[in-house]
Amino acid sequence: MSKAKIILDKDFTNGKISKGIFGSFIEHMGRVVYSGIYEPGHPDADENGFRRDVIEKINKMGVALIRYPGGNFVSNYDWRDGVGPKENRPKRREIAWKSIETNEFGTDEFMKWVSNTNAEPVFAVNLGTMGIRNALSFLEYMNLPEGTFYSDMRAKNGHKKPYGIKKWCLGNEMDGNWQVGHKNAYEYGRLAAETAHAMKMMDDSIELIVCGSSKSSMPTFTEWEKTVLEETYDYVDYMALHQYYGNQSYGSADFLAQSLDMDNYIETVASIIRTVKARKHSKKDIKISIDEWGVWEIPDCEVADSVSSREWQVAPAFSEQIYTMEDALLFASLLMSMVRHADVVKAACQSLLTNISACIMTEKGGGSWVQPIYYPFEYMARYATGEVLNSSVTGDKYESRFGDALYVDQVCTYDREKNEIAAFFVNRSSEPAELTIDLRGAKASEILEDVSMYSENIKTTNLTDHNAVHPVNSQDFCIDGSSVTGKIKPYSWNMVRISL
């Protein structure tokens, strides 16, 4: 049995937690939109074709941001194809995912759909095959009052009031040679800077997100960030990181230690931001948006083969990953890493919301259900509020290919208004763990909630039995003087809420 001790002091924190960390992502890819969130004629669809069963799960999940419309999709997308009367909208060959895009669901449909959720919309502009003019026309359509061509177009389409979109992504994964319109760092940096400058001239209330590396293993990582920030620093507000982790073939120990790479990725980019800020003698702080992240267990070659076998269909099903209890543990650790870095990470979008690397799965014409990864997100979105606590942790470790990993991964938060600590844990060990939380300078008055998610077989999924993996209330923790102590199950995710 491993042991861990966490020392906390509610007066020592590492930044206020932004609700924007608990975001998600909708892309025109596979069944994410069509039969995912939108399915006219479905028994549970509303008058707009929006699946109410999915909306209910999204709201319970606590999604605070939703990024749209892509993703790789956006780099060859003209937003004008998806507005106006549906009978006039063109069908297009969507080359990122080799499918037919009907454009039946577009910008105005997304805005009507997202209004049923509690999420803030985040839009991306096309900097692959389009550029400044297309970005400005999109911004005018979304944010400006009537009186000019594109704002009048919005009004004609039934939306007199501007949408007022705050956050905008300047393209998507432009460092990747898989991206339509891929550019080197300088080319992208100049285009992004010019686009950002023009967009803020049109609407200086917006916040702009510039593309960083699409994963930490990119050969251009760090040089890309440095070059792009040198060009764009004065105009942008966030740098985007994208990161997916798979490699179940590593074995459980190394697979679950991959969140250490996420820690390093965030810290490296934060360091580059500070370096460029110092070089420019700037007083401005740029934050981090991890606007695509998740556990991606299907190899890229299999995704490509799957896409190729279904070329030029409308909303073909592919890459519909089924997550295990083990996947949920890594997913939870990745989200905990973002919360630990709440001083710099202010936005994040789990990818994707439905059907592809998704929290929520749907059956066309049928029901919907949630994967094991849904639950750590739901509980952290609800209870990881206030400030993240600095924590001093001692405990048993193991060697992994990503460095020494604690068997017990953790993050703790403090909500001053509620005078409440929420502690989240992942046990990376096949053995139970004994845990002590030392509340320096505070006294626990009550264990408000004690939740654990565990399965005897870490490869268990919710595919057949949709309730096979889910959190249960437990009584594993108790107050012991100035500490809270407990025992957590092997390969488990846990949350304990403590009233002070």
Please count the CA atoms within 13 angstroms of the CA of 392 that sit on its side-chain side.
8
95 C-beta neighbours (distance < 10 Å), count: 14
Give the residue from 59, 146, 153, 63 showing the smallest Cα distance to 106. Answer: 153
Distance of alpha carbon 497 from alpha carbon 500, whole angstroms: 10
C-alpha torsion sign, points 197, 24, 178, 125? negative
Give the residue from 67, 41, 62, 37 showing the smallest Cα distance to 52. Answer: 37
411 C-beta neighbours (distance < 10 Å), count: 27
Q: What is the 3-state secondary structure (H, E, C) of 68-125?
A: ECCCHHHHHCCHHHHCCCHHHCCCEEECCCCEEECCCCCHHHHHHHHCCCCCEEEEEE
Please count the CA atoms within 13 angstroms of the CA of 479 that sit on its side-chain side.
15
Give the residue from 63, 67, 83, 64 showing the smallest Cα distance to 142. Answer: 83
Catalytic annotation, residues:
173, 292
CA distances from 304 to 96, 170, 296, 301, 397 (A): 10, 26, 14, 5, 38
AA identity, residue 69? P
AA identity, residue 448? L
